[in-house]
Amino acid sequence: MSRLVVVSNRVADPRRVAAGGLAVALGEALSSSGGLWFGWSGTVVERGAPDGQLHVQRAGNVTLATVDLGHDDHAAYYRGYANGVLWPVFHYRLDLANFDPGYIDGYRRVNRLFAHKLMPLLRPDDVIWVHDYHLIPLAAELRAMGCQQRIGFFLHTPLAPPLILAAIPGHEWLMRALFAYDLVGLQSQADMNHLARYLVTEAGAEQLGEGRFGAFNRQLRAAAFPIGIDVDGFIELGRGKEATETRANLREQYARRQLLVGVDRLDYSKGLPQRFRAFRTLLERYPENRHSATLIQVAAPSREDVDAYGDIRRELEGLCGAINGDFGDLDWMPIRYIHRTVARKRVPGLFAASRVALVTPLRDGMNLVAKEYIAAQDPADPGVLVLSRFAGAAEQLTEALLVNPYDTQATAEAIERALRMPLDERRLRHGRLLEEIRRHDVHWWRERFLSALSEGGPG
């Protein structure tokens, strides 16, 4: 059997807690088969100190191989091109993109460095699976060094429509780099449609059949592979001591109240200010929720050295303070805002104690929190998922209450409906949602992608 080599910017010990869909999903996908996980060590070395140092360690059946990055490389590659250009553009936020011409060189340098460090670790029958927007040109760099193994790529973010992508200076080079892969996977059908239109209209590719494109003397296969969670693993986590304790404590504390929950990285794509405004509107328009409905919003610090992230934090703190100041009382605060990562073992307990989950991103590749919330519910008395129609998950989770997060009034109405939903309807919706996340879980995702990668001939 071939060895699986996973490459991603962020590498996490699969046995430890992580915030972020990629680290959680890859940890789960890799620990079932074992293999090599290669990426950035998380260390940025000071100017003048040697960079590119490789660290290899075992974590159960997975070998972790990670590389240190130099200060300037990290700034241009991670903060600059990946999170200052590609992240905002892929999330349709041209207004937040910083097209500094210096970034792209750093992005290329780090992709080349990764290829040089990875190449000697590869075996001839390895299957290589590269993840996310940080590493789009990695296969092209590996191919230039003679790498013949199969290489697949999966994009965890959304992919914007062609004319938005076309605003990236040098987008032709970036998208052409996709043709060095044997297979490209996207989160949703909407993303797949955008890629197909981009390739035909901007790259002059010929559509050779369903998900097959020809250009630059190569063929590219692409399809949607919506990522899932380890449903049974998450349910099991919910039976653990920490989760049970968390649920019991919250249930006791909020026995006479209705709990709503949001768990996110603090990212502008997650629609947190819009969510707080919708919650405020709920309290204004449906005053019976005052002294009762309480939103626990956990927002893990993320990419704080990128400007737009500091702005969103300040905005959120202002909104939260105003809502608590205007509506709070001696014995009740409408919002409990926690700027921290909650221990993963406690997350299912937090979800289980909450009557409603607010998962309302402005744009999201998939959103695993939505699926985790469903898995954590008691099927006999489940809570209700309020989900943005702009999350990739909305293509699958059609039994959630789907909302447009930009529409504050309509979102407030959906929250009110969720809080009042009768038990029969909650059960019916939850049953269907649970069935869906079980059918398309993280194991299905991994197997489906890897079998598609091994099926097709080389590009």
The residues annotated as belonging to the active site are 156, 364
Piece of 15-23, 28-36, 287-295, 435-443 that binds ligand F6P (CB under 6 A): 15-23
Helices (H), 286-384: 307-327, 347-352, 368-376
Structure-token pair, residue 452: 């598609």
Q: Determine the Cα–Cα distance for residues 278 and 297; give it in Å rounded to an integer.
A: 13
The pairing of strands 212-215 and 206-209 is antiparallel
Side-chain half-sphere CA neighbours of 88 within 13 A? 22
Q: CB under 5 to 8 A by kind: which of ligand F6P, ligand ADP, none does 303 bind? A: ligand F6P
Structure-token pair, residue 9: 């910017």
Tell me if 88 contacts ligand ADP by CB under 6 A: no
Q: How near is the Cβ of 113 to ligand F6P at its closest, in Å?
A: 18
Rule CB under 6 A: choose which of 31, 63, 66, 341 binds ligand ADP. Answer: 341
Hey, what amino acid is at 405?
P
Q: How near is the Cβ of 343 to ligand ADP at its closest, in Å?
A: 7
Tell me if 313 contacts ligand ADP by CB under 6 A: no
Helices (H), 286-335: 307-327
Nearer to ligand ADP, 114 or 337 (CB): 337
Tell me if 372 contacts ligand ADP by CB under 6 A: yes
Positive/negative CA dihedral, 237, 449, 206, 86: positive
Tell me if 132 contacts ligand F6P by CB under 6 A: yes
Tell me if 263 contacts ligand ADP by CB under 6 A: yes
Structure-token pair, residue 437: 């996340």
Q: CB under 5 to 8 A by kind: which of ligand F6P, ligand ADP, none does 341 bind? A: ligand ADP
Q: How near is the Cβ of 455 to ligand F6P at its closest, in Å?
A: 26
Hey, what amino acid is at 124?
P
Q: How near is the Cβ of 25 to ligand F6P at its closest, in Å?
A: 8
CB 99 within 8 A of CB 168: yes
Piece of 189-197, 258-266, 403-411, 441-449 that binds ligand ADP (CB under 6 A): 258-266
How many chain residues bind ligand F6P (CB under 6 A)? 10
Q: Determine the Cα–Cα distance for residues 261 and 397; give it in Å rounded to an integer.
A: 18
- DSSP bridge partners of 428: none
Rule CB under 6 A: choose which of 367, 377, 396, 408 binds ligand ADP. Answer: 367
Q: CB under 5 to 8 A by kind: which of ligand ADP, ligand F6P, none does 396 bind? A: none
Nearer to ligand ADP, 289 or 341 (CB): 341
- Residue 452 has φ and ψ, to the nearest 5°, of -65, -35
Q: Determine the Cα–Cα distance for residues 398 and 428; give it in Å rounded to an integer.
A: 12
CB 383 within 8 A of CB 396: no
Q: Determine the Cα–Cα distance for residues 191 and 180; give it in Å rounded to an integer.
A: 20
452 CB burial (10 A radius; 0-12, 13-18, 19+): middle
Tell me if 300 contacts ligand ADP by CB under 6 A: yes
Piece of 19-27, 93-101, 136-144, 434-442 that binds ligand F6P (CB under 6 A): 19-27
In the three-class reduction of DSSP (H, G, I as helix; E, B as strand; rest coil), residue 402 is classed as strand
Structure-token pair, residue 84: 């200052």
Tell me if 79 contacts ligand F6P by CB under 6 A: no
Tell me if 11 contacts ligand ADP by CB under 6 A: no
Q: Which residue has the tokens 């993109």?
A: 97
Q: CB under 5 to 8 A by kind: which of ligand ADP, ligand F6P, none does 24 bind? A: ligand ADP
Q: CB under 5 to 8 A by kind: which of ligand ADP, ligand F6P, none does 10 bind? A: ligand F6P
Tell me if 397 contacts ligand ADP by CB under 6 A: no
Tell me if 235 contacts ligand ADP by CB under 6 A: no
Tell me if 272 contacts ligand ADP by CB under 6 A: no
Q: How near is the Cβ of 265 to ligand ADP at its closest, in Å?
A: 4
Tell me if 429 contacts ligand F6P by CB under 6 A: no
210 CB burial (10 A radius; 0-12, 13-18, 19+): exposed
Q: Determine the Cα–Cα distance for residues 155 and 135; give it in Å rounded to an integer.
A: 10
Q: Which residues of 346-363 are buried (b: 16+ CB within 10 A; e: fewer)?
A: bbbbbbbbbbbbbbbbbb
Piece of 17-25, 185-193, 236-244, 286-294 that binds ligand F6P (CB under 6 A): 17-25
Tell me if 21 contacts ligand ADP by CB under 6 A: yes
Q: Determine the Cα–Cα distance for residues 248 and 246; give it in Å rounded to an integer.
A: 6
Q: Determine the Cα–Cα distance for residues 333 and 295; give it in Å rounded to an integer.
A: 9
Region 144-173 residues binding ligand F6P, contact defined as CB under 6 A = 156-157
Nearer to ligand ADP, 360 or 367 (CB): 367
Rule CB under 6 A: choose which of 150, 194, 303, 346 binds ligand F6P. Answer: 303
Tell me if 302 contacts ligand F6P by CB under 6 A: yes
Chain positions contacting ligand ADP, by CB under 6 A: 19-22, 24, 263-265, 298, 300, 341-342, 347, 366-369, 372
User: Which residues are at the interface with ligand F6P (CB under 6 A)?
Assistant: 10, 20-23, 132, 156-157, 302-303
